[in-house]
Amino acid sequence: MMEPTLGCTQRMELTLGCTQGQEPSLGYTQGMELTLGCSLGMELTLGYTQGVELTLGYTQGQEPSLGHTQGMELTLGCTQRMELTLHRNKHAENEEE
């Protein structure tokens, strides 16, 4: 098992796992995750439990999100299906209302 680990603020660990001939993924075994801790709570989390979830960015105590908007998340499932879910910024939602 190859685990490059870098210590930063609280903890900054990069885990790459690829077992049983599955497609390349980050964090594969029982909830391995890639966590980057920064100032208040900025973290990048990759977990492989029910699929690979990639969350980027953090906005003033909001849940981890991708980009500058709330609720924007990138989800990659690598178990039975591979899906990419991207929620656009709230401007699009406001136009609909």
The H helix count followed by the E strand count for the chain is: 1, 7
What three-state secondary structure class fits 13?
strand
Per-residue pLDDT of the chain (97 residues; tens, 9 = 90+): 444 433 333 333 333 433 344 444 443 333 434 433 333 333 344 333 333 344 443 334 444 433 333 333 333 333 333 333 344 444 444 555 5
Q: How many folded domains does the chain comprise? A: 1
Long-range contacts of 16-22 (CB under 8 A, 24+ apart): 17/48, 22/78
- pTM for this prediction: 0.12
* Residue-number span of the structural domain to which 14 is assigned: 1-97
Tally of CA atoms within 13 A in the half-sphere of 25 that contains its CB: 27
Angle subtended at Cα 10 by Cα 8 and Cα 13, rounded to the nearest 5 degrees:
60
Strands of the 12-13 sheet, one edge to the other? 5-6, 12-13, 35-36
Answer whether 26's CB lies under 8 Å from 33's CB.
no
Residue 86 has a pLDDT of: 42
